[in-house]
């Protein structure tokens, strides 16, 4: 999709393409590895994740399959081949560094796309297959809960982020058992960091933060064929 496509147009196209993927992939929930009992709380009483956003907010996120910052910087010549090839308009020039990084306000990483890695002539972006791309973590989506439309508006029914997530890493959960208000619940082990959820979020409540390069997302039971029901 080009840069001129509006968010509304994007939503219509992306929902139809991604809902079927989400329905198949979200087969089981993945147990959380860490406890949030002592975590700071947002307005809803759920663990607040804004601190993670602030901690990582100044850090850049580089295109898929790039190694660490130093390696990428040493190999990238700033030729902009990846920018021209990017189907989701998320890779942008970084003039100050004579390089590129990802701007999730401008676009998103198309889930099955490998155009940027195919186009890179220097090895700054290592070639990956489409199957490898499906489990390659680019970043991690986190929720700034207090900005969520459904938290700000008790009658809010927004679920755009869950509807477009191609990896089925994001679902809507009740804020409280006594409330009908739902908010996004992001499973970090399954999220690939494509940024589709952040791109469509009307209140910019979802932010993308860096992850360790080479990380892979965990597949669901449905994807691995181990689901028993």
The verdict on residue 217 lying in a domain is no
Average pLDDT over residues 116-141: 93
The verdict on residue 73 lying in a domain is yes
Distance between terminal CA atoms of the chain? 37
The verdict on residue 165 lying in a domain is yes
Query: Are 80 and 115 within one domain?
Result: yes
Domain boundary among 91, 111, 138: 138
Q: With cut-offs at 50, 70 and 90, classify the pLDDT of residue 156.
A: confident
CATH code of 114's domain: 3.30.70.20
Judge whether residue 4 has pLDDT over 60: no
Domain count, the chain: 2
Query: Are 132 and 166 within one domain?
Result: no
Domain that holds residue 121: 62-138
Query: Are 80 and 46 within one domain?
Result: no
Q: For residue 208, what are the contacts with CB-CB under 8 A and spacing of at least 6?
A: 61, 102, 104, 139, 140, 141, 142, 193, 195, 198
Average pLDDT over residues 124-139: 91
Query: Are 175 and 130 within one domain?
Result: no
The strand pairing partners of 207, in sequence order, are: 142
- Give the pLDDT confidence score for residue 215 in this predicted structure: 67
Query: Are 143 and 53 within one domain?
Result: yes
- Within 10 A of 190 (CB to CB), how many other CB atoms are there? 22
Q: What is the pLDDT of residues 47-84, one digit of tens each?
A: 434 333 343 344 789 898 887 778 888 999 999 999 99
């Amino acid at each position: 999709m080009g840069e001129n496509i509006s968010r509304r147009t994007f939503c219509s196209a992306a929902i139809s393409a991604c809902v079927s993927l989400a329905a198949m992939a979200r087969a089981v929930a993945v147990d959380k590895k860490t406890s949030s009992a002592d975590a700071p709380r947002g307005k809803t009483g759920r663990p607040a994740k804004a601190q993670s956003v602030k901690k990582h907010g100044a850090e850049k996120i580089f295109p898929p399959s790039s190694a660490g910052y130093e390696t990428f910087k040493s190999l990238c010549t700033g030729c902009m081949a990846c920018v021209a090839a990017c189907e989701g308009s998320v890779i942008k020039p970084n003039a100050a560094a004579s390089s590129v990084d990802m701007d999730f306000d401008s676009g998103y990483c198309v889930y099955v796309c490998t155009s940027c890695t195919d186009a890179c002539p220097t090895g700054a972006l290592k070639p990956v297959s489409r199957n490898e791309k499906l489990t390659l973590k680019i970043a991690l989506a986190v929720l700034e809960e207090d900005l969520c439309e459904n938290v700000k508006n008790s009658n809010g029914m927004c679920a755009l982020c869950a509807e477009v997530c191609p990896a089925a890493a994001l679902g809507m959960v009740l804020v409280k058992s006594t409330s009908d208000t739902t908010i996004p619940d992001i499973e970090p082990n399954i999220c690939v960091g494509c940024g589709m959820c952040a791109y469509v979020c009307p209140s910019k409540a979802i932010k993308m933060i860096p992850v360790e390069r080479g990380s892979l997302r965990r597949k669901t039971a449905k994807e691995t064929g181990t689901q028993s029901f």
